[in-house]
Chains A and B, each alone.
Chain A
Amino acid sequence: GQNIDQPTEMTATEGAIVQINCTYQTSGFNGLFWYQQHAGEAPTFLSYNVLDGLEEKGRFSSFLSRSKGYSYLLLKELQMKDSASYLCAVLNTGNQFYFGTGTSLTVIP
Chain B
Amino acid sequence: DVKVTQSSRYLVKRTGEKVFLECVQDMDHENMFWYRQDPGLGLRLIYFSYDVKMKEKGDIPEGYSVSREKKERFSLILESASTNQTSMYLCASSSGTPAPYEQYFGPGTRLTVT
Contacts and interface: CB of A to CB of B under 8 A. Distances in A.
Contact of B106 (A30, A42, A96, A97): A42
Contacts of B81: none
A27 B43 CA distance: 18
Contacts, number: 53
B83 to A, nearest CB: 22
Given A42-B106, A96-B59, A102 B100 contact: no
A33 B48 contact: no
Contact of B99 (A30, A44, A45, A89): A30
Chain B interface, >50% SS class: loop
A42 B41 contact: no
B40 A101 contact: yes
Contact of B103 (A2, A95, A97): A97
Interface string B33-47: 101000011111100
Where chain A touches its partner, the secondary structure class is strand
29 contacts: A2-B59, A30-B99, A33-B102, A35-B103, A41-B107, A42-B90, A42-B105, A43-B43, A43-B90, A45-B103, A45-B104, A48-B101, A48-B102, A87-B42, A89-B43, A95-B98, A95-B99, A95-B100, A96-B45, A96-B48, A96-B56, A96-B58, A96-B59, A97-B33, A97-B45, A97-B103, A98-B45, A98-B59, A100-B42
